Structure 1
Amino acid sequence: MTELERAIRKLRRKHTVSRVAYRYVSGRPLSGKAGHPYLSRGAGRLAGWQRQVIRFAVPTVGLVATVHPEPVGSLVGSAVLVAGYRLRRRLTMRRFNREYVTPTLAALAPAMGLQTGVRLHVDPSLGNLTPRLAKPLSPAETAVRAWYGERVEPVIRWLPERAQRAAWSVQRTARPVTSKLAAFRRPVDPDQGPRIELTADTPYLTKEQRQLVSSIIGSKIPVSDLVESWNQVGQRVRAVWTVRKRPPARVGVDQVAEHLPRLAEWEFYIGQGAGDRPVILSLRDDSPHIAVSAGSGAGKSVLAELVAVQVLARGGRVVILDRKGSHRWALGLAGVDYCTRPEQMHDALVKLAALADERNTLALHEPEDWNPGARVLVIAEELNATIGQLVNFWAEVRSNGDPKRSPAVSALADLLFMGRSAKVNVLAIAQMLTARAIGGPEARENFGIRCLARYTANNWKMLVPEAAMPRASRTLGRWQVVIGGQATEVQVAYLSATEARALACPRSSGTSEVSGLSSPAGDFLTLRQAIDGGVIPWKLDAAKKRLQRKVGKVPAPRGKSGNADLYARADLVRWAGSESDERISQ
């Protein structure tokens, strides 16, 4: 028997009537080829179950058409419309894959050292991938589409729109019942969305290979601002690129008023992050000082205003060093010391350093969680220019025997090193926060919270080299807040001057719980300083006799300033008021 006869006999045995009938009924290819899965699409065009449906549906429709031709005609028309829609979608996806997926796979396979086993899924809704494939329309096509949109499409969409509205009405009616079923639903991954997904039949890819794959994906598929994640656990390597979630475009006073009552005294709300999540800064856990670096017009003063308003609303004090008048909303507010001249800034910084030193000295004799008093926020605007003005002012007024370095600059450095326990916090603002602008590189390291906007690559590398630099946003009020090397994109809340003043002074009396820096030594005074500042109404000898005789609510000493005792301002005020109350009662 020849080879040809053997092949013919083998072919006849393979394609017997029973075998072909079995393949037809089971959904297998009639040719008998293997490797065609039943549930998923394999090398063939259709899955096994899809072929099965078609093979049973076509003869059934033909049989019914001979008995009932009218309903079958409408059914066939609907099937033709569905088939036309699917065909159009298939042609669009075919062009999409030919433009993006196929060339990318051809570039990826050699990069990973694989010729097969690389699968790539690109969501058509990503960016403007699909609109880029659109061809310009001719005037005739434009006219036809306009006529279709005005005359035909409203008629076609009338019934689906009514059905959708009816479905929404049913959902609203059934909401009391369906809401209780939420406890039985499995949680859905909130990050599921448009993505690029790559699967490779290899257990591991090196760092260089992953970088090359990311570079190819970024160059072949024109979608910007993607976040990638790799999973190499198991027999396959899986990589996913998703669109970075962005904060809302605007955050205002409503969000600030909502979050402010929920925060601790050391926590500050600054805006909304990705996924509309609130972003909270902690001056106790994150860092006692905040560095703000941004270009002109990026909203540096808005961010400082937001923090200052929350300090004032809790009864704290705000000291503003501002030569150009960026915080006019704070003029005249209780608890605010607005310094615009170099001599005012000089005196304020020296007094603040003395206050911080007093509080730290007293903290040595108190429990660990002792509260030294109201929080003091120092807003240093435009430090690049302010430091120079302080240096020049000291050079003009310095006399023989005075230190060469400006005491104000030294005081600012001292505040940065001892501000946490004293509850004196510095918010430093500069277009470029160099080491020279803040008093040295070691002083700049005290800023654990660093906020940047409209930054350059040079500025980012100087301030936060440990964090990956995202692309700078053009949205007004969009900041990158870096804490511990982790950058968080934030839309900072915007407050108008009226809104800021209303939030800063919630008390009906309109007065602050603390006084300004007009006193010589801050919150803790000697008897002489209290008399000079008008805190107590007696002369020094009379005050000492009252202390010896324990007249009224005598204050307890809280520390030492040389040989003199220090008393808390609140205790001295209470002492002076108690004696006047006793006289009235008598």
Structure 2
Amino acid sequence: MTEIERAIRKLQRKHTVSRVAYRYLSGRPLDGRQGYPYRHRGPGRLAGWQRQAVRLGVPAAAVMAAAYPGQAGGVLGTAVAVTGWRVRRRFTMRRFNREYVTPTLAALAPAMGLQTGVHLHVDPSLGTLTPRLAKPLSPAEVAMRTWYGEKVEPVIRWLPERAQRAAWSIQRKAEPVTSKLAVFRRPVDGDQGPRIELTADTPYLTKEQRQLVSSIIGSKIPVADLVESWHQVGPRVRATWTVRKRPPARVGVDQVAEHLPRLAEWEFFIGMGAGDRPVTLSLRDDSPHLAVSAGTGAGKSVLAELIAVQVLARGGRVVILDRKGSHRWALGLAGVDYCTKPAQMHDALVRLAVLADERNSLALHAPEDWDPGARVLVICEELNATIGQLVNFWAEARGKGDPKRSPAVSALADLLFMGRSAKVNVLAIAQMLTARAIGGPEARENFGIRCLARYTANNWKMLVPEAAMPRTSRTLGRWQIVIGGQATETQVAYLTAAEARELACPRSSGTSEVSGLSSPSGDFLTLRQAAEAGVIPWKLDAAKKRLQRGVGEVPAPRGKDGNADLYARQDLARWAETGERISQ
């Protein structure tokens, strides 16, 4: 017997009646070929279960139509509608694959060194991929779609909608029972949104290959702002690109008031991240100091205000070094020392360094849980310009035998190195926080929390080179909070001046360990002290004239400091607000 005869006999045995019947009923190919899985579709063909459903369903429908002629019309109409929907969907997907998937695969295979074994799935609902393929409708098509939406679709959807509502009602009724079964459910990936999935039949791709694949995906499939992840464990390489989740568009005082009571004394709520997750900072665990770098109008002062309000609400102190007056909300608040002139800033930093050194000396002989006192937050606005002003001030004020370097700049550097145990924290604000602006590269390394918004590539690489730079956002109040090389996109909470003053509500009595920083720490000031501290926006002579003329709600004297009258901070702040409105 020849080899050809053996092959013919083997083929004849292969196609017996029983085997063909088994293949027909089980959904396998009738010719006996292998490689077509039951659960998943083969290349260009139906899956096994789909073939099985067609082979068994069509004869069953024919028998039912013959047995019940009256129902044949409904069955036939349903079959035609389902078939039409599937055909339309198939043609749509064929066009979608022809425009996106097939060209991308043709570019990917050579890039990965593979001619076969590369599989790509692109979700049609991703971005605007499908709308890009849409063709303009003719007037007849518009009229037909309008008629269908008004006349036909409500009838077709009536029964499914009622069934869905009934299912929801049953779920609500059974929720007390089904909720107890949650302990037996396995956790699933919460991010099941539209995505791009790539599978390659190779165990490893180099970094250069992965970068080339990412570049091809980004060029051939026009969807912006995707999050890329690679999995190279196992015999195949898998990559996914998912839509980046975004924080809410706005966060306000309600969220701040909700989260503030839950936080420890060293924790601060700053906003909401992706998935409405609260973002908090820890001045004990993450870092004792914060660096804020952003362009003009990005909300640097809003972020500083948010943290300062929480410090005041817990009975702490806030020292503001601000030449341009960005924190008018803090004018007149007990617990706030507002420095607007270089001399005041100089004295404030020197005294704070002394305070921090005293606290550190006491902590040396105290138990580990010893509390040095109220927290002090130092807000340094526009540090690039502030350091220059302090240097120029010291160049003019320096006497014979004084050090050449500004004691204020040295004090700021000392605070950065010893602020954790002393509970003296620095919040440095600058458009570009260079090493020169902060007093040296070693001083800048003490900022473990770095906040950036409206950043450039140069600014990002200078401050956080260890973190991948995400795309900058135009949304006002949208920040990147970088801790330990991990960037978290955050929508920072916005507070109005009235909301900030109401939330501050310091529990302290007004007595400060840093008294004399910029003004007396009590609640009563002379007119000169109020002008120097920035409690009133006018110079001393202008304030005296307004006081004599009775412009605004003129404060009444509350006491005497020598020959000068003493006024309450709140009265002075109210006078400043009403006087400004009258001037405008």
Q: Would you say the 8 A contact 1:289–1:416 is kept in 2? A: yes
1:517 pairs, out of 505, 515, 523, with 515
1:71 maps to 71
Query: Deviation of residue 156 (structure 1)?
Result: 3.1
- Structure 2 SS opposite 1:366: coil
1:351 maps to 351
Corresponding letter in the other structure for 1:425: N
Shift of the 433–67 alpha-carbon distance from structure 1 to 2, 3 Å rule, reads same
TM-score (norm 2): 0.83
Aligned partners of 1:141 and 1:57: how far apart in 2?
A: 34
Shift of the 519–7 alpha-carbon distance from structure 1 to 2, 3 Å rule, reads closer
For these two proteins, the number of residue pairs brought into alignment is 521
- Structure 1 SS opposite 2:319: strand
Shift of the 398–173 alpha-carbon distance from structure 1 to 2, 3 Å rule, reads same
1:96 maps to 96
- Within a 5 Å distance, the mapping from 1:437-448 to structure 2 comes to 437-448=437-448
Which of structures 1 and 2 has the bigger CA Rg?
1
Shift of the 349–17 alpha-carbon distance from structure 1 to 2, 3 Å rule, reads closer
Corresponding letter in the other structure for 1:517: S
Shift of the 362–137 alpha-carbon distance from structure 1 to 2, 3 Å rule, reads same
Aligned partners of 1:520 and 1:361: how far apart in 2?
A: 25
Q: Would you say the 8 A contact 2:294–2:455 is kept in 1? A: yes
- Structure 2 SS opposite 1:334: coil
1:181 maps to 181
Shift of the 230–87 alpha-carbon distance from structure 1 to 2, 3 Å rule, reads same
Shift of the 520–173 alpha-carbon distance from structure 1 to 2, 3 Å rule, reads closer
Aligned partners of 2:28 and 2:466: how far apart in 1?
A: 58
Corresponding letter in the other structure for 2:133: L
- Structure 2 SS opposite 1:199: strand
Q: Would you say the 8 A contact 1:335–1:515 is kept in 2? A: no
Shift of the 517–137 alpha-carbon distance from structure 1 to 2, 3 Å rule, reads farther
Aligned partners of 1:505 and 1:16: how far apart in 2?
A: 90
Q: Would you say the 8 A contact 1:248–1:491 is kept in 2? A: yes
Query: Deviation of residue 11 (structure 1)?
Result: 7.2
Corresponding letter in the other structure for 2:308: A
Q: Would you say the 8 A contact 1:38–1:48 is kept in 2? A: yes
Shift of the 141–61 alpha-carbon distance from structure 1 to 2, 3 Å rule, reads closer
- Structure 1 SS opposite 2:491: strand
- Structure 2 SS opposite 1:462: helix
Aligned partners of 1:4 and 1:288: how far apart in 2?
A: 85
1:542 maps to none
1:501 maps to 501
Q: Would you say the 8 A contact 1:35–1:43 is kept in 2? A: no
1:456 maps to 456
Aligned partners of 1:518 and 1:36: how far apart in 2?
A: 84
Query: Deviation of residue 22 (structure 1)?
Result: 4.2
- Structure 2 SS opposite 1:401: coil
- Structure 1 SS opposite 2:389: helix
What are structure 2's unaligned runs of at least 5 residues?
Answer: 522-584
- Structure 1 SS opposite 2:239: strand
Q: Would you say the 8 A contact 1:355–1:522 is kept in 2? A: no
Aligned partners of 1:206 and 1:402: how far apart in 2?
A: 60
- Structure 1 SS opposite 2:191: coil
2:550 maps to none
- Structure 2 SS opposite 1:394: helix
Query: Deviation of residue 162 (structure 1)?
Result: 2.9
Query: Deviation of residue 292 (structure 1)?
Result: 0.3
1:307 maps to 307
Aligned partners of 2:509 and 2:139: how far apart in 1?
A: 70
Q: Would you say the 8 A contact 1:295–1:453 is kept in 2? A: yes
1:252 maps to 252
1:406 maps to 406
Aligned partners of 2:354 and 2:272: how far apart in 1?
A: 37
- Are 2:125 and 1:125 equivalent residues in the alignment? yes
Q: % of aligned pairs identical?
A: 83
Corresponding letter in the other structure for 1:347: D
2:25 maps to 25
Shift of the 44–26 alpha-carbon distance from structure 1 to 2, 3 Å rule, reads farther
- Greater shift, 51-60 or 182-191, is seen at 51-60
2:272 maps to 272
Aligned partners of 1:6 and 1:156: how far apart in 2?
A: 59
Aligned partners of 1:456 and 1:106: how far apart in 2?
A: 35
Q: Would you say the 8 A contact 1:382–1:429 is kept in 2? A: yes
Query: Deviation of residue 124 (structure 1)?
Result: 1.5
Shift of the 26–169 alpha-carbon distance from structure 1 to 2, 3 Å rule, reads closer
Aligned partners of 2:8 and 2:418: how far apart in 1?
A: 96
1:580 maps to none
Q: Would you say the 8 A contact 2:387–2:437 is kept in 1? A: yes
Shift of the 420–515 alpha-carbon distance from structure 1 to 2, 3 Å rule, reads closer
Q: Would you say the 8 A contact 2:126–2:223 is kept in 1? A: yes
Shift of the 73–261 alpha-carbon distance from structure 1 to 2, 3 Å rule, reads same
Aligned partners of 2:6 and 2:366: how far apart in 1?
A: 103
1:105 maps to 105
Aligned partners of 1:329 and 1:157: how far apart in 2?
A: 56
- Within a 5 Å distance, the mapping from 1:158-177 to structure 2 comes to 158-177=158-177
Query: Deviation of residue 359 (structure 1)?
Result: 1.6
Shift of the 62–417 alpha-carbon distance from structure 1 to 2, 3 Å rule, reads closer
- Structure 2 SS opposite 1:242: strand
Deviations 1:332-364 (A, max 9, x none): 111001111222212211211221122222222
Q: Would you say the 8 A contact 1:286–1:449 is kept in 2? A: yes
Deviations 1:131-188 (A, max 9, x none): 1111122333233333433343333333333332232222222222222222222211
- Within a 5 Å distance, the mapping from 1:381-400 to structure 2 comes to 381-400=381-400
Query: Deviation of residue 13 (structure 1)?
Result: 6.5
- Are 2:489 and 1:489 equivalent residues in the alignment? yes
Aligned partners of 1:206 and 1:448: how far apart in 2?
A: 32
- Structure 1 SS opposite 2:110: helix
Query: Deviation of residue 408 (structure 1)?
Result: 1.9
Corresponding letter in the other structure for 2:464: V
Query: Deviation of residue 380 (structure 1)?
Result: 0.7
- Structure 2 SS opposite 1:127: coil
Deviations 1:215-249 (A, max 9, x none): 22121111222222222222212222222222222
Query: Deviation of residue 311 (structure 1)?
Result: 0.7
Corresponding letter in the other structure for 1:471: R
- Structure 2 SS opposite 1:212: helix
Query: Deviation of residue 506 (structure 1)?
Result: 5.9
Deviations 1:406-436 (A, max 9, x none): 2222222221122122111110101111122
1:36 maps to 36
- Within a 5 Å distance, the mapping from 1:351-390 to structure 2 comes to 351-390=351-390
Corresponding letter in the other structure for 2:96: F
2:142 maps to 142
Query: Deviation of residue 3 (structure 1)?
Result: 11
What's the C-alpha RMSD, in Å, of the aligned pairs? 2.7
- Structure 2 SS opposite 1:238: strand
Q: Would you say the 8 A contact 1:481–1:488 is kept in 2? A: yes
Corresponding letter in the other structure for 2:376: V
1:469 maps to 469
Aligned partners of 1:82 and 1:49: how far apart in 2?
A: 17
What are structure 1's unaligned runs of at least 5 residues?
Answer: 524-586
Aligned partners of 2:15 and 2:424: how far apart in 1?
A: 90
Deviations 1:542-571 (A, max 9, x none): xxxxxxxxxxxxxxxxxxxxxxxxxxxxxx
- Within a 5 Å distance, the mapping from 1:551-570 to structure 2 comes to none
Aligned partners of 2:375 and 2:431: how far apart in 1?
A: 26
Shift of the 91–362 alpha-carbon distance from structure 1 to 2, 3 Å rule, reads same
Aligned partners of 1:83 and 1:485: how far apart in 2?
A: 54
Query: Deviation of residue 7 (structure 1)?
Result: 9.3
Shift of the 23–263 alpha-carbon distance from structure 1 to 2, 3 Å rule, reads closer
- Are 2:298 and 1:298 equivalent residues in the alignment? yes
Shift of the 13–173 alpha-carbon distance from structure 1 to 2, 3 Å rule, reads closer
Q: Would you say the 8 A contact 1:259–1:269 is kept in 2? A: yes
Shift of the 490–422 alpha-carbon distance from structure 1 to 2, 3 Å rule, reads same
- Structure 2 SS opposite 1:359: helix
Corresponding letter in the other structure for 1:92: T
Query: Deviation of residue 12 (structure 1)?
Result: 6.6
Aligned partners of 1:15 and 1:357: how far apart in 2?
A: 93
Q: Would you say the 8 A contact 1:316–1:335 is kept in 2? A: yes
Shift of the 199–337 alpha-carbon distance from structure 1 to 2, 3 Å rule, reads same
- Greater shift, 453-462 or 134-143, is seen at 134-143
TM-score (norm 1): 0.83
Aligned partners of 1:438 and 1:160: how far apart in 2?
A: 66
Aligned partners of 1:349 and 1:6: how far apart in 2?
A: 99
Shift of the 417–32 alpha-carbon distance from structure 1 to 2, 3 Å rule, reads closer
